[in-house]
Structure 1
Amino acid sequence: MDIRQAIGFITGKAAKHPYPEHMQDARKIAADGIVLLKNEGDLLPLAEKELALFGAGAVDTIVCGSGSGYVMAPYTINVMQGLENAGIQITSKNWLKRYQEASKKANKEDKTLSKLDRSWSGLSILIDDIEVTDADIKESSSAKTALYVVRRNAGENHDRRAKKGDYYLSDREMDNIKKIAASFEHTIIVLNTCVIDANFIGEIEGIDAALLLGQAGMEAGNALADILTGKSSPSGHLTDTWAKNYQDNPASATFGSNDGNNLQEDYVEDIFVGYRYFDSFGVEPLYPFGYGLSYGKPEYELVEIAADWKEVTLKVKVKNVGPIRSRFVAQVYVSTPNGKLCKPYQELKAYGKTKALAAGEAEELTLKIPTESLASYDMETAAFIMEAGDYLIRLGSDSKNTAVAALLCLDATARLRQVSNQLQADREMDVLTTPQACIERVQKETAEARNQAESGNLKMIQLSAADCQTVDGAAKPVEKRVSGKGNAKATFIDVVEKRVPMADFVDSLDEEVLFRLVAGAADEVPHSVPKRTNRKYKPVGGPTSSGSTTALYVDSLGIPNWKVTDGPAGCHLPFMGVTGYPVGMVLAQTWDNDLSDLMGSGIGKELEAYSHSIILGPGMNIHRDPLGGRAFEYFSEDPLLSGKMAAAMTIGVQKTPGAGVSIKHFATNNQEEDRTRENNTVTERALREIYLRGFEICVREADPKTVMTSYNCLNGTHTSSSYELITNVLRGEWGFRGLVMTDWGSKSQKHLDLAAGNDLIMGGYRSQFLKVAVHGTPAEFADNGYVREQEFKVYGGFFKNVVEFWNAFEPDAQGPDWVATTVAPGVELSDQVQKKIEEGIATVTENADGSKTVTYRGYNRGQYLDMEDVKTCATRTLEQLADSVSYRLMTK
């Protein structure tokens, strides 16, 4: 462990930050990601310098999620501190003091969380609000305005619940807010949350203003104060639809544990996710997708539009017709004609954000829509097609506040990209289709647009299908590794410096080395080889983090260990000086690609400073349902916004030579509970248009170094074992050139992972298990009748993992094969044997001499891993090591 980190564990203090300016970047990003939801009477920005402050989030401000997404920054600014830093006098000192004491007492008395839980995963005991008494109101009454902060946390391994204290306000919160709103002249609500039931903002009389702070990083309190005081004008916009009723969300009935079945998720809503559902089915939201108010007021005008079969280009003029300097987001949606394929009412196709515009100032934005993005996937022909008809180009500030600005007319159906069907659903589903009312609404709007266009009051452009040239987008064969000649003297340095071909080096390595190159260092079996280098090389040091590749061959072969850290809201390096940036949801609420690039650039520099090569992020799964436990870490319900944000962050991180990202979790990791076992059944159209689309944008536009597969199964197959997903789509269709890794401790079968093109098994895997797969080694038994077990340290020694040596035998009650072991007289059987008996896998026979024979049913797989697959995956791992922070540090 790094000495700075060890000191931190003892003292509780973080090391000195190498880039203090990054913390102010985090403040700027957070301020731009705060969403103003309500501002009656222009209460904000505040004119007064005195506030009564209440709510758990005032002092227990949640700045990031828990689990792998947690970032331990050198400090965090809570809401109370941020207001005080801005010169605001807080009048509710006694209530805040009582709350702090109650929270401190609960955490001190807690016996369920270890120091590791708190420092590594960011867990703590989050108590409910305490009562706001009449005495508290009286003490605070010199302030005209009260501010109440609702606080929620979320994190890895757990989904949220549609119950009080989580998705809904607790009874205490509701009582407190009602009392405050009735007692003060003005009341402001701040949501330090992800999506919750926010109906109370409009229902409780006296609430004048509301803001979504979200989990806004280490500078959250200062960023909020910047917005409240008018130092910055709010310019954030929602990345999700906020429903009036939780049940209005299209997946709510069956999501996660809602239907009592965590293991099978049927995506029957199909392409109708988020606003695509609300808009198409006429369900009125509380706050629409893309919604966000400002202290200024935008006015949008489409100045010019042009189109060809490459892209549609729009020049949009945005003017601030309000009184206060502000930034604005222009959003472009398109309604496509219903024909052979059903379509949602509209879909986001482009967006752009202005600079800060003074009152009366305007800016012209150039927005580009790839023409292919107007196509839909036809599963029957395995092609992306644009159907004949009129395409309504809509411009505005959110999905409910747009106006038709132009008409694009297509004379006949055009096939833009021909692919081949992949990842087809593993079972039949009755999926949603466009309701007739939606079809008729679009037809009516189209007729009105036609009339306007013909009268010269609306811009209209034409495309001819005859001019469209179909692109062959089918999976290209992924190049096979070419065998080398072998070179027993070659080092990895020789390969990087182009003195020796990679294939020659790989073919010179014995299988024990190759097995260790395709797995992380956790659970590693020691191994050494003769030294080939002429100088001394040392393993890359730095703080303990999420994982590393092997360091066994640094000095002998010149292969560096490649260190990776969790993310994506900053480097997950406890007690180190790292920046706690806003979480993915808040970052995306900026709708500013440049700010995502800025955040990525900071992370890349910090990776290098701490000798790490990869951050495990950005996370970019779709917000299928607001109860998803990792929604804070992911960007949006919309794939375009998710893909663009991820691409910008990727470009930012990879500006630092050798630093890279691992976009995750590929794919459909949309629930946390039972995520290692659950299966998602999704149509290929929904996959290609919604759940894979963001990943595709990031891969094509930003060339990420690595991709992390997810734990779950997709259409019956673990994603990490899906040849169609990894090799055919990711590599063959999208042209991905980097490395694919598993998530940590996935439950997939590793020989299938490697065969599918999943190059690196993380956080690690016993090399013996790969060896037995190549050679078909039989099971190894202990004296107690169960297979031999061994415990190993993982996650830098923070956790332990027990492995079982079944080897080439796979236990299964339905298996046709069997294997047996004899237990000597007087030796007690392992409790694990009894468990296998209960599962119908094992039987025990008493022998005449007092011994016992334990027989296990299953499958004898024999040799079930091809060594050529191992070499291919090892090659891709080495290619990443060649262009890494680790290699640069090892050879400097």
Structure 2
Amino acid sequence: MNIANLVDTTELKKIKGLNAILLAGQAGNATGNIVADVVLGKSIPSGKLTDTWAASYEDYPSSKNFSHNNGDTNDEYYSDGIYVGYRYFDTFNVTPNYCFGYGKGYTDFETEVRDVEADAKNVTVTASVKNIGDTFAGKEVVQVYYSAPDGTIEKPYQELGGFGKSDLLSPGESQTITISFPTRSMASYDEKKAAWVLEAGTYYIRVGNSSRTTKVAAALNLKETVVTVQGKNLFPADDAPQELSKAGVTPYSYEGEAEEKAAAKQIDICSKCIKTETVVYSETPEAFPAYEGEKLTAADVKSGKATLKDLVSQLTVEEMAAVCNGTADGLGQEGFIGSSSDMAPGAAGDTTSILLEDRGIYNTILADGPAGLRLIPHFVVDADGKMVSSGNPLEDAFNKNEIEVPEGGTEYFQYCTAIPVAALLAQSWNMDLIRKCGDIVGKEMEEFHISVWLAPGMNIHRNPLCGRNFEYYSEDPLVAGMCAAADTRGIQSHAGIGTSIKHFAANNQEDNRMYVNEHISERAMREIYLKSFEIAVKTAQPMTIMSSYNLVNGVHTANSHDLLTAAARDEWGFAGYVMTDWGTSEDMSGLFAYKYNLKYGHSTSRECVLAGNDLQMPGQQGNRQEIVASVADGTLPLGQLQTCAYRILNVVLQSLAYDDCKPYGDQFDLEEAVTVTKA
């Protein structure tokens, strides 16, 4: 199956004589050779599913009312709450065709838990993995889950806490794998307390190679409920959905589970040793003190003569409005959505070069993904350096090869590697491999002078019918967050370039995706739909974040201060800039009238700046005019506009446009979400 999304395997299983299914999964440039080698036994398949493949579409709890299924694409009600993917199938005891974490190879393994240790800081599982086959080598994934106690907050049957993949083991060969994750990562969100809490009770640690093969390995006992992070509720429900409850439901179980719990190693966790973090939320920024000296340049900032705030304080409102917008309507080329760059044909857009001549601040180029760098592979420029167009930008973008080269013109090629789609990368469960794929993209970004890769996409696979699941990783936020972090680290190991994790947040359907209102509880939003982004920010610090088109609980994400500033910056420590998806703060109903409607209207430029959505892409004159007018009439504080411009320029000055650039991530003290060691 050369596919990236789920299909109905119940129909496949009806085929007489079928005894194996190979999920190829759209592996990019090398797909043909890879599949041939696997079929011939020259290489060893070792993937595991990162989604639950149900026996019937109707088994997914979101199926009945998902997207167009109920005829309403204006409002999406997340009545499944936290019960997404295996959290639902395990808790409500619904048997899938293939469970989360499942995958076969050409050999079998035996996994034995050697020890479990835990304290107020970490939970650590040590297991030995042995290849018990007699012919083929292979790799195994050790998956560690936890079952949190039900207190005042309802919990799923189990949740993934950590995982690690073995090296290639020959028949009879074994390896010891140690997997460690923070104890506080087992916390649940309590809406009444507006806090993350570890509720008192017993936390069972489970180990297996899929969600349906886990065995109880230890029991962690917490005598008192602990608040791990005290914040505030950010996503009040405008029309709260009635969420699923497991009350009266008998969850999945297996023979011997009760005996395993009784015999499990008992570990007491010191409640008082877990410290509470209290979030300090930012206020509306004051205007920057005016720098009265000579006109400052990028060189002055880089030399330490002045600060970037000093430089920004000298910019006019019109200049800052230009900084906070892309250049699609600006310097020449006719742009279209997804290909609006004046500097690199096929790139998605640019930041402004309006400050280049007198400030020495270069533009940066932003190119799309997600399965590699997306540029026009073949183009022609005339004697004056202007790109020769077919008259149809879509044809140019998708490689119209027959382009006549005019006299004095030049023909160019910019071929890029097609890496595997995100869904397949996740199924490797191999963070080193994903980081290497990021490294491939990073090298090509350097070659083509691209500063920001508009990827990885990392929304949750809530439902199989989401049209962009192929470019997202998983139904599980830990897997999605770790994959995005690995991809980001690979890219940002190169000097002056970075990623833009997207679509922030809850872009889980494509019908009316620009204007749909997603009604989600605070808890589900934080535990499922934001958790992956939180992990990526805290462990990789992507250079940028891209907001989504949709609304969450009646507020456009692009205009949500609580999402973009309170959550991403104040709670998680995000340090880069936020940009809109293309056309977010414009009325796109005319361009896409056949598909979208405006029950809730579109977001606005003024509110983007107020929310901390720094860069509006691809940019148009109306965006800039609205910003200037809003400062003039007092509805947009000058300090807020200056702060947005500052954040953009802070990243621009670290980009590969400058010879002194360094790997962006080097300035941060980053830790892994899960630590894995092998012996």
TM-score surpassing 0.5? yes
Structure 1 residues 440-482: Cα deviation after superposition (integer angstroms, max 9, x where no partner): 969x9775334313xxxxx321113233322224545587564
- Report SS of the residue matched to 2:641: helix
Query: Are the counterparts in 2 of residues 487 and 508 from structure 1 also a CA contact under 8 Å?
Result: no
2:171 to 359, 364, 386: 359
- TM-score normalised by structure 1 residue count: 0.65
In structure 2, the partner of 1:515 is: 321
In the TM superposition, residue 355 of structure 1 has moved relative to its aligned partner by: 0.6
In structure 2, the partner of 1:469 is: 275
In structure 2, the partner of 1:883 is: 654
Query: Are the counterparts in 1 of residues 91 and 252 from structure 2 also a CA contact under 8 Å?
Result: no
Query: Are the counterparts in 1 of residues 325 and 623 from structure 2 also a CA contact under 8 Å?
Result: no
- Give the alignment of 1:441-590 within 5 angstroms: 447-453=258-264, 459-473=265-279, 475=281, 482-524=288-330, 541-575=343-377, 576-590=414-428
Label 1:486 to 1:600 Cα distance change in 2 as closer, same or farther (>3 A). farther
- d(CA) in 1 for partners of 2:446, 2:342: 11
1:313 to 107, 118, 124: 124
Query: Are the counterparts in 1 of residues 342 and 349 from structure 2 also a CA contact under 8 Å?
Result: no
Counterpart of 2:350, as a letter, is S
- d(CA) in 1 for partners of 2:271, 2:252: 25
In structure 2, the partner of 1:397 is: 209
Query: Are the counterparts in 1 of residues 495 and 661 from structure 2 also a CA contact under 8 Å?
Result: no
- Report SS of the residue matched to 1:291: coil
Label 1:884 to 1:440 Cα distance change in 2 as closer, same or farther (>3 A). closer
- d(CA) in 2 for partners of 1:425, 1:445: 42
Give RMSD over aligned pairs: 2.3
**Structure 1, unaligned runs of 5 or more:** 1-189, 454-458, 527-538, 778-807, 809-861
- TM-score normalised by structure 2 residue count: 0.85
Counterpart of 1:310, as a letter, is K
In structure 2, the partner of 1:630 is: 468
1:274 to 85, 100, 105: 85
- Report SS of the residue matched to 2:314: coil
Query: Are the counterparts in 2 of residues 600 and 651 from structure 1 also a CA contact under 8 Å?
Result: yes
Pairing 1:369–2:185 present: no
Query: Are the counterparts in 1 of residues 496 and 661 from structure 2 also a CA contact under 8 Å?
Result: no
- d(CA) in 2 for partners of 1:653, 1:560: 21
- d(CA) in 1 for partners of 2:299, 2:235: 40
Structure 1 residues 545-583: Cα deviation after superposition (integer angstroms, max 9, x where no partner): 110011233223211011010012110012122110000
2:6 to 195, 217, 226: 195
Counterpart of 2:109, as a letter, is P
**Structure 2, unaligned runs of 5 or more:** 333-340, 378-413, 585-601, 663-679
Counterpart of 1:876, as a letter, is R
- d(CA) in 1 for partners of 2:178, 2:434: 19
Pairing 1:436–2:244 present: no
Query: Are the counterparts in 2 of residues 478 and 731 from structure 1 also a CA contact under 8 Å?
Result: no
Query: Are the counterparts in 1 of residues 536 and 542 from structure 2 also a CA contact under 8 Å?
Result: yes
In structure 2, the partner of 1:106 is: none
Counterpart of 1:633, as a letter, is E
Structure 1 residues 781-825: Cα deviation after superposition (integer angstroms, max 9, x where no partner): xxxxxxxxxxxxxxxxxxxxxxxxxxx9xxxxxxxxxxxxxxxxx
- Report SS of the residue matched to 1:748: coil
- Give the alignment of 1:469-868 within 5 angstroms: 469-473=275-279, 475=281, 482-524=288-330, 541-575=343-377, 576-746=414-584, 747-766=602-621, 769-775=623-629, 864-868=635-639
In structure 1, the partner of 2:54 is: 243
- d(CA) in 2 for partners of 1:325, 1:590: 16
- Give the alignment of 1:415-434 within 5 angstroms: 415-434=227-246
In the TM superposition, residue 870 of structure 1 has moved relative to its aligned partner by: 1.7
- d(CA) in 2 for partners of 1:478, 1:310: 35
- d(CA) in 2 for partners of 1:291, 1:441: 17
Query: Are the counterparts in 2 of residues 488 and 508 from structure 1 also a CA contact under 8 Å?
Result: no
Structure 1 residues 186-224: Cα deviation after superposition (integer angstroms, max 9, x where no partner): xxxx34341010112321111122111122111111111
- d(CA) in 2 for partners of 1:470, 1:302: 32
Counterpart of 2:640, as a letter, is D
In the TM superposition, residue 291 of structure 1 has moved relative to its aligned partner by: 0.7
Bigger shift: residues 388-397 or 662-671: 388-397
- Give the alignment of 1:247-258 within 5 angstroms: 247-258=58-69
Structure 1 residues 620-655: Cα deviation after superposition (integer angstroms, max 9, x where no partner): 000010000000000000000000001111111000
In structure 2, the partner of 1:790 is: none
In the TM superposition, residue 345 of structure 1 has moved relative to its aligned partner by: 0.8
Label 1:235 to 1:475 Cα distance change in 2 as closer, same or farther (>3 A). farther
- d(CA) in 1 for partners of 2:645, 2:199: 45
- d(CA) in 2 for partners of 1:658, 1:481: 29
Q: Identity across aligned pairs (percent)?
A: 42
- d(CA) in 2 for partners of 1:204, 1:336: 41
In the TM superposition, residue 512 of structure 1 has moved relative to its aligned partner by: 2.0
Query: Are the counterparts in 2 of residues 718 and 748 from structure 1 also a CA contact under 8 Å?
Result: yes
Query: Are the counterparts in 2 of residues 560 and 890 from structure 1 also a CA contact under 8 Å?
Result: no
- d(CA) in 2 for partners of 1:228, 1:486: 71
Label 1:701 to 1:645 Cα distance change in 2 as closer, same or farther (>3 A). same
Query: Are the counterparts in 2 of residues 710 and 742 from structure 1 also a CA contact under 8 Å?
Result: yes
Structure 1 residues 371-427: Cα deviation after superposition (integer angstroms, max 9, x where no partner): 111111110011211222221111111111111122212222222221211112212
| Pairs aligned (count) | 600
Query: Are the counterparts in 2 of residues 213 and 224 from structure 1 also a CA contact under 8 Å?
Result: yes
- d(CA) in 2 for partners of 1:403, 1:478: 50
